[in-house]
Amino acid sequence: MGRRRLGFLIPLWGIALGVLLYGVLTVLGARFGFLYRNVTGFTALQQVSRWAIGVSALSALGVAALVAGIAALRPASWPRKILLVLPAWFLFLTFLGLLMFLLQIGTVGPFAALWTVGSALLLLIAVTVAGLRMDLPSRIHKWVQALLGLGGASGLVAGLSLLLAFLLAMARGPAPAFAGPRGSFGPGGAPGFLGPPETLGEGARAVPPFGTPGEGFRGEPFVGPFPGRPPEGLGRVRVAPSTMAVGGGILSALAILVLGAVGWSRRRWSAEAAPAVEIEGDRPREGLRALGAGAMVSLAALLIAQLIPVPRTNPPARATIPWDSPQTQALWQRACADCHSNETRWPWYTAVAPASWLAILHVNEGRQALNLSELDPAALSPARKARLAEEIAQVIRNGSMPPADYRLIHPEARLTDLEKELLIQGLWETLSR
């Protein structure tokens, strides 16, 4: 009996480890994805691996949903019912985290990522405990095996695609052309790149193109898109391409192990008499009781969350910005000041968790990136002023600033195209003083 239960738990954990490994490889390989993106076939293989690992993750979530649903519908007393509903509750939190990514809520900073990964880990533990304590109906078990087989096969495709992508990169070397509006790597190349690939180090990273060649920006350490922050998608860790290829091989081997475990489980299920397990009790009634138990868990978690202190501070300003016009200052106050100054407004919901956690992360990230209350334009070099103005213009024009979740609850921050250009021009004039 125990082996039959392990027949779906082992593949489930294998898929979860594969998705986690893929995420780590994606972070470590961000710089290589940038350097090798023009190599023929590299981007296509990377895209295939992303789609495949997505299918694998959704398959694992489907298995978790089936197990969580069976557990939640089991008749039990109220204290035990609360325990039985935990897998379904953690599943809800995981889907809520995925919804954050779709709506771009909490994606500036680690909020959405920590929420999703933490919920998924707790879901995996809860499903494991529930799976070890109950048998699945034969019809549900067949669906579970089918989803695990799909997840293992997709993981194998993801691993092989990743492996082939980096083997291809090692065989052909980095793309010679900078995928920007001008130039190539190395001296005399694109001003948006601080040197050839082999010289990439902690202080040399890709930056948005700006200015004209020969303005003296190439030798400066990168300090943007805001001070202390690397460009989006480029990590600080320097890892050899061979490490990424080995990671793809390990992911492929893990997927083969998952498929083997699914096949072993299927053979044991066919060889042994399947237990006549069905969902007992009144399903509608048990469903309502499960919703009630979930509401009780949610209320308890919300009350406990309020015990975590979140400091809301507005330190005194250390610098006075010489605004070029009241219009620029007003636009800045509408769209930027809450996160990029010490003049943050703290509405009532910023005192209620988990909204308070998201708000403080936004403010801390924003102040660390750029804080006009502590920035003295007179102390910046002309090159630094030009770079800062260009980087601010880029994030305003592409819509990443203000963030989507901030605009969602602050309608006044939704600037028109004309207002964006006025703000960009006003900030340029202000920083130039």
> Is 0.85 topped by the overall pTM?
no
Give pLDDT tens digits for 31-58.
777 777 777 788 889 899 999 999 999 9
Distance from the first to the final alpha carbon of the chain: 76
User: Of 170, 157, 117, 171, whose CA–CA distance to 248 is shortest?
Assistant: 157
Dist CA 315 CA 309 (whole Å): 18
The backbone torsions φ and ψ at residue 193, rounded to the nearest 5 degrees and listed phi first, read -135, 130
Q: What is the DSSP string of 79-96?
A: HHHHHHTHHHHHHHHHHH
Q: What is the pLDDT of residue 125?
A: 95
> At CA 67, angle to CA 63 and CA 69, rounded to 5?
115
Reading the chain (433 residues) residue by residue, the pLDDT tens digits are 455 566 778 899 999 999 999 988 888 887 777 777 777 788 889 899 999 999 999 999 999 999 999 999 888 888 899 999 999 999 999 999 999 999 889 888 889 999 999 999 999 999 999 888 887 777 888 888 899 999 999 999 999 998 998 888 777 765 554 443 333 333 333 333 333 333 333 333 333 333 333 333 333 333 334 443 444 444 444 566 677 888 889 999 999 999 998 888 777 666 555 555 555 557 788 889 999 999 999 999 999 999 988 888 888 888 888 888 899 999 999 999 999 999 999 999 899 999 999 999 989 989 988 898 888 888 888 888 888 888 888 999 888 889 988 998 899 999 999 999 999 999 888 887 7
Distances from the Cα of 65 to the Cα of 120, 165, 246, angstroms = 12, 33, 32
Dist CA 242 CA 234 (whole Å): 18
